[in-house]
Amino acid sequence: MAAGGLSFRHVFCVRARCVPCRAFSTAPRSASQGSGARRRVVARVAATACIGASAALAWLALRDPAEPREEDARYAAAIARLPDLERAQATRVVLVKRFLSDADLAELDARLAALLREPLGTFSRDANGVPQLCGAPWETTYLHTNGAFARACPDLRHRLLALAERVDAAEGWGLLGGDSVGSAEKLAPRAGACGGAQLRTVELHRVLPGGALADRRHFDGGSLVTVDVLLSRPAGADFAGGEFCTPELDGTMAVHAGFERGDALVFVSHKRHCVAPVRAGVRRVLVAELWDGPERTCAHRCMDPRRECAYTVAAAQAERFVRADLPET
């Protein structure tokens, strides 16, 4: 098919060496019977299919070319900003005494009691970190689900962000500083995509006897700074055991004693850490992780900062069933 000297191969087909289009262009144009006619019909069918495929490919490539490239570039930048694993081990865990006063804690406990009546993402693990359906000694509740934490505790949300930024600056980690984050005053809730580190997850961990974070290689992968706030009294008052520990570069295991109710531990997320088994009582700790992504409201610890996440409470419940280590029947 020639039009003004241009075959449709030149007009439609995106492939320079397209065999069906070239066959159709070179098929005998005047043949009306015999092998020449059949050759032309076959070439027409092949070329029509080729045009359809080419158009579909062009539509897929051109429908929104800027957005995925921007997302991918941003994701690559976020990965580049993640703290180096080896250097993270050399950083120290900062203990902030009395981050929450007794009055703060009483108010938080009341708000958590109301918040926990809302549908929130949850996850259960046994002493080895294996997912369990129920009755596990380590229960995690994702308080940020559907923006519940930001609504119920706006002041604490702001204080967690400000604390992380202050410690990051004081320790010279450089993970949250610079223009990408700005001052603590700029860490107010933002609509849409964020321009700097935001809350990836805010979790309530309740660990019963036998529960532990035993893996000495564990770190909060993909996050920048983690803040732990202890909500119950250690040393046998509310719980026994459950010491926060970090394997250090010299081969020793640092036990972070003095971490008491209302205190905060702030550390580089990629620093390895573990928690000794709880021997009695219930260890409650609030865990907030900041990442280079938008503040999340999905019902889990989100894994992909690039795009909107539609992980719902129903999905979290389904995952509990799918991943749980169910007993043999």
The mark string for 241-280 relative to Zn ion (x by CB under 5 A, - otherwise) is: ----------------------------------------
User: Which residue bears the tokens 């010491």?
Assistant: 243
Neighbouring C-alpha atoms within 13 Å toward the C-beta of 178? 11
DSSP-derived secondary structure for 84-146: PHHHHHTSPPEEETTSS-HHHHHHHHHHHHHHTTS--EEEEE-TTS-B-SSS-SEEEEETTGG
Task: With CB under 5 A as the rule, give the number of residues binding Zn ion.
Answer: 4
Nearest approach in angstroms of CB 293 to Zn ion is 10
Nearer to Zn ion, 24 or 311 (CB): 311
Nearer to Zn ion, 167 or 309 (CB): 309
The mark string for 289-318 relative to Zn ion (x by CB under 5 A, - otherwise) is: ---------x---x------x-x-------
Nearer to Zn ion, 175 or 302 (CB): 302
C-alpha–C-alpha distance, residues 222 and 291, integer Å: 7
Nearer to Zn ion, 197 or 207 (CB): 197
Nearest approach in angstroms of CB 300 to Zn ion is 6
| Cβ-based neighbour number of residue 136 at 10 Å | 21
User: Which residue bears the tokens 């929104």?
Assistant: 64
Nearest approach in angstroms of CB 296 to Zn ion is 6
User: How does DSSP classify residue 231?
Assistant: -
How many DSSP H helices and E strands does the chain contain? 9, 14
Neighbouring C-alpha atoms within 13 Å toward the C-beta of 105? 18
Nearest approach in angstroms of CB 278 to Zn ion is 28
Nearest approach in angstroms of CB 228 to Zn ion is 21
Nearest approach in angstroms of CB 88 to Zn ion is 24
**Do the beta carbons of residue 276 and residue 285 sit within 8 Å?**
no
Nearer to Zn ion, 242 or 305 (CB): 305
Nearer to Zn ion, 79 or 110 (CB): 79
Q: Which residues bind Zn ion (CB under 5 A)?
A: 298, 302, 309, 311
